[in-house]
């Protein structure tokens, strides 16, 4: 399949993008999208691409062909539409065409994907191995990530005084979460016990000190936590690519809703989300769950 000769205005637009400091990768993605449209336009009309001749129906039909004939993924279609839309906005601004034919064409809504989470067997194997290691800080850190759903940034920002482990209800105070939101997160018994054991092993820590310390001092770098998790995954014979602090947060959310299916508001409060729409992603069943429900309906 031959690549169409790009219209001079497209080349001019790409030169403008380069002068604006756009990356070579971004320009290459835009170029591929425009090449795809120009090739389609030339095949349909039998004449070279002319920006002034393109109408909204052309863009809509091009988009539909990608969906039905090419079966392109929504992300691919949207990337091409973005390239075409930005080119035509520029072309209108430079009087190369009178109107933007992409203005009324909407991008595709990608399928809602349930966030990645660890299976329960993976969780048990990981926790068992970490506990067997005897590393109290690592035990407390993973128990907190998995048992309270904190973000890694929130976890690393904790100071000793942010924990209340001796009251009737154990809790961690997040003083500046995402968006600067202050919240208090209850801590379950396993999390409380792991934190108590860790703090007992660090008698020199003062209330204002960073919570997480090791042989090299305070733990500030999130990459250190990533490496720690992957190390334990490998030692436990598990796939290290399946684990990260964010996946532990998603795992907590999934486990919480499995036990409390109607408590989206409670989950949002724990995770620090201001909108219930954000936690709705955890209610989306995967294909296996949908199949199971459909089979039940057949009985």
How much is the pLDDT for 285? 61
Which of the residue ranges 51-60, 164-173, 189-198, 289-298 would you say has the lowest mean pLDDT? 289-298
> Distances from the Cα of 197 to the Cαs of 115, 138, 142, in angstroms?
32, 11, 13
Q: With cut-offs at 50, 70 and 90, classify the pLDDT of residue 200.
A: very high
Is 122 a residue of the active site?
no
Among residues 7, 151, 250, 255, which one is catalytic?
Answer: 151
**Residue of 31, 36, 137, 273 marked active site:** 273
Question: Looking at residues 242-252, what average pLDDT do you find?
Answer: 92
Does the annotation count 7 as an active-site position?
no
36, 249, 250, 255: the catalytic one is 249
Task: Give pLDDT tens digits for 27-56.
Answer: 999 999 999 999 999 999 999 999 999 999
Question: Which of 39, 86, 222, 246 is an active site residue?
Answer: 246
Catalytic residue among 22, 94, 178, 234: 178
Nearest-angstrom CA–CA distance, 207 and 204: 10
Residue 151 a catalytic site member: yes
Q: What's the residue count for the chain?
A: 299
In the chain the domains, ranked by start, together with CATH numbers, are: 8-93 (1.10.150.130), 120-292 (1.10.443.10)
Q: Is the pLDDT of residue 154 over 90?
A: yes
pLDDT band at 176 (very low <50, low <70, confident <90, very high): confident
pLDDT band at 257 (very low <50, low <70, confident <90, very high): confident
Give the contacts of 31 (CB within 8 A, at least 6 positions apart). Answer: 6, 14, 83
pLDDT recorded at residue 214: 80
DSSP annotation string for the chain: -PPPPPPHHHHHHHHHHHHTT--HHHHHHHHHHHHHHHHHHHHHHSS---GGG--HHHHHHHHHHHHHTS---HHHHHHHHHHHHHHHHHHHHTTSSSS-TTTTPPPPPPPP-PPP---HHHHHHHHHHHHHHT-HHHHHHHHHHHHH---HHHHHH-BGGGEE-SSSS-EEEESS-GGG--EEEE--HHHHHHHHHHHHT-TT--TTSBS-EETTEE---HHHHHHHHHHHHHHTT--GGG--HHHHHHHHHHHHHHHSTT-HHHHHHHHT-S-HHHHGGGG---HHHHHHHHHHHH-
Residue 299 has pLDDT above 60, yes or no: no
Position 2 scores a pLDDT of 65
């Amino acid at each position: 399949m031959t690549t169409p000769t790009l219209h001079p205005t497209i080349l001019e637009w790409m030169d403008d993008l380069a002068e604006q400091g756009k990356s070579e990768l971004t320009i290459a993605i835009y170029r591929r999208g425009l090449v795809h449209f120009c090739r389609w336009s030339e095949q349909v009309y039998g004449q070279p691409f002319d920006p002034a001749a393109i109408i909204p129906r052309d863009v809509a039909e091009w988009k539909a062909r990608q969906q039905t004939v090419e079966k392109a993924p929504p992300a691919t279609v949207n990337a091409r539409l973005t390239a075409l839309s930005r080119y035509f906005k520029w072309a209108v601004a430079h009087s190369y065409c009178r109107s933007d034919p992409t203005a009324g064409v909407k991008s595709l809504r990608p399928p809602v994907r349930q966030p990645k989470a660890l299976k329960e067997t993976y969780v048990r194997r990981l926790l068992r191995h970490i506990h067997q290691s005897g590393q109290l800080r690592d035990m407390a850190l993973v128990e907190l990530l998995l048992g309270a759903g904190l973000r890694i940034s929130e976890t690393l920002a904790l100071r000793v005084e942010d924990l209340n482990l001796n009251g009737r209800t154990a809790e961690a105070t997040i003083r500046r979460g995402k968006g600067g939101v202050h919240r208090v997160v209850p801590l379950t018994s396993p999390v409380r016990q792991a934190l108590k054991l860790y703090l007992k092993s660090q008698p020199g820590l003062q209330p204002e000190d960073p919570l997480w310390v090791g042989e090299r001092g305070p733990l500030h770098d999130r990459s250190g936590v990533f490496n720690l998790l992957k190390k334990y995954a490998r030692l436990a014979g598990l796939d290290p690519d399946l684990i990260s602090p964010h996946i532990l947060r998603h795992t907590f959310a999934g486990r919480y809703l499995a036990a409390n299916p109607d408590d989206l508001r409670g989950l949002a409060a724990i995770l620090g989300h201001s909108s219930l729409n954000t936690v709705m992603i955890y209610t989306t069943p995967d294909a296996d769950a949908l199949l199971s429900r459909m089979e039940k309906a057949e009985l």
